[in-house]
C-alpha cells in the first residue's frame, strides 16, 4: 500500500508552500495555523506572518499585542500566544528534543514538526491519517504523512470516500463502503464547535473519537489529554 500511496502522491499531491521548507519555525507556524483553520485560508496568512516575522528570533522579540493583532481572523487567540511563547523559548534555549515541551505543542504538532523539519520517522495522527489507517488496517510510517493528509482530504473522505479514484482500493478492506451521517446535518451541526463537543462527549464516554482536529483543539484548551494518540480526560 505504501508504494501505491507514494506514487499517487508524487503525481497528485497538493503544492502547499510549507512543503517547500524544512525550517522548523516556518513549519511550526503552519501547523499551529492549520490546527483550526482551513488550508485555503492559512496559505495567505502564513506568507504574511513570515514576512512580518521571518525567523523565530523575530517573533520572540515581538510584543504579545502585535502577535494577537496579526492573528486576528484566524480565531482561537490562545494559539497565537502559545506560538509567541514557544518562539521565546526556542530563541532562549534552542529547539528541545521533546517538542511537546513548547507551549501549545501537543503530540500531533510535535510529530508534524519532528517529521517535516527534523526528518524524524514520526507519523503525526490527524483526523485524515487516523481514518485511513482504520479503513485500510494499514500502519503507515512517517514517510507517508503528507500523502495521507492529501488522500484523506481529497479521496478517502469522511462520509463518501472516492474509492474509484483511490490508489489503495485494490487492497483496502473498506473499499466501497459509505459513512453517511445518521441524520441530516443542520448548519450548526458539523461546525467545528460541535465537532469539539462531540469529540469531548466521546472521550468522556471512554471512546476514541476519529476527529483528530477536534482532539488537538480540545487538548490545547486542557480539556483532554493525548498520550500516544489516545485521548482521555485530564486527571
Ligand atoms: S479504497 Fe476507499 S475506503 Fe479504502 S482507502 Fe481508498 S478511499 Fe478510503
Tens-digit pLDDT profile for the chain (235 aa)? 999 999 999 999 999 999 999 999 999 999 999 987 889 999 999 999 999 999 999 999 999 888 888 888 887 777 888 999 999 999 999 999 999 999 999 999 999 999 999 999 999 998 889 999 999 999 999 999 999 999 998 999 988 899 999 999 999 999 998 887 655 555 666 688 788 878 888 887 888 887 888 888 888 777 778 887 788 877 6
Q: In terms of C-beta density within 10 A (0-12 exposed, 13-18 middle, 19 or more buried), how is residue 198 classed?
A: middle
Query: Which grid coordinates are listed for 154?
Result: 481529497
- The CA–CA distances, whole Å, from 15 to 18, 30, 45, 119, 167 equal 9, 14, 16, 19, 19
136: Cβ below 6 Å to ligand 1?
yes
Instruction: Return the ligand 1 atom nearest residue 165 CA.
Output: 7
Whether 31 is catalytic is yes
Return the pLDDT at 11: 95
Return the pLDDT at 127: 85
Return the pLDDT at 188: 61
- The CA–CA distances, whole Å, from 33 to 29, 47, 48 equal 6, 12, 12
Return the pLDDT at 225: 83
> pTM for this one?
0.75
Instruction: Return the ligand 1 atom nearest residue 169 CA.
Output: 1
128: Cβ below 6 Å to ligand 1?
no
Q: Which of 4, 135, 178 for mutating ligand 1's site (highest number of atoms within 8 Å of CB)?
A: 135
Q: 212 near 71, Cβ under 8 Å? A: no
Return the pLDDT at 207: 85
Return the pLDDT at 15: 93
Helices within the chain (DSSP H only) = 2-12, 24-34, 39-52, 56-61, 64-71, 78-93, 107-116, 127-136, 145-154, 192-204, 212-220
Residue 230 backbone phi and psi in degrees, to 5: -105, 130
Catalytic residue among 31, 134, 138, 189: 31
5: Cβ below 6 Å to ligand 1?
no
Return the pLDDT at 181: 65
Cα of 139 vs centre of ligand 1, distance in Å, is 14
Amino acid at each position: 500500500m505504501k508504494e501505491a500511496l507514494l506514487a499517487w502522491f508524487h503525481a497528485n499531491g497538493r503544492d502547499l508552500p510549507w512543503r517547500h521548507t524544512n525550517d522548523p519555525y516556518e513549519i511550526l507556524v503552519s501547523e499551529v495555523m492549520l490546527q483550526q483553520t482551513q488550508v485555503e485560508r492559512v496559505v495567505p496568512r502564513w506568507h504574511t506572518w513570515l514576512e512580518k516575522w521571518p525567523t523565530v528570533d523575530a517573533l520572540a522579540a515581538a510584543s504579545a499585542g502585535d502577535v494577537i493583532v496579526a492573528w486576528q481572523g484566524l480565531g482561537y487567540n490562545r494559539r497565537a500566544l502559545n506560538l509567541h511563547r514557544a518562539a521565546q523559548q526556542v530563541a532562549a534555549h534552542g529547539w528541545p528534543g521533546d517538542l511537546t515541551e513548547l507551549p501549545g505543542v501537543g503530540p500531533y504538532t510535535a510529530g508534524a514538526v519532528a517529521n517535516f523539519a527534523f526528518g524524524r520517522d514520526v507519523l503525526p495522527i490527524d483526523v485524515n491519517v487516523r481514518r485511513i489507517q482504520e479503513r485500510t488496517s494499514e500502519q503507515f510510517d512517517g514517510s507517508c504523512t503528507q500523502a495521507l493528509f492529501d488522500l484523506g482530504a481529497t479521496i478517502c473522505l469522511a462520509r463518501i470516500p472516492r474509492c474509484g479514484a483511490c490508489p489503495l482500493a485494490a487492497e483496502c478492506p473498506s473499499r466501497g463502503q459509505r459513512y453517511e451521517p445518521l441524520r441530516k446535518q443542520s448548519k450548526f451541526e458539523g461546525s467545528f464547535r460541535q465537532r469539539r463537543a462531540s469529540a469531548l462527549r466521546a472521550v468522556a464516554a471512554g471512546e476514541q473519537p476519529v476527529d483528530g482536529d477536534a482532539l488537538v483543539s480540545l487538548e490545547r484548551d486542557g480539556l483532554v489529554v493525548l498520550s500516544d494518540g489516545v485521548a482521555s480526560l485530564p486527571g
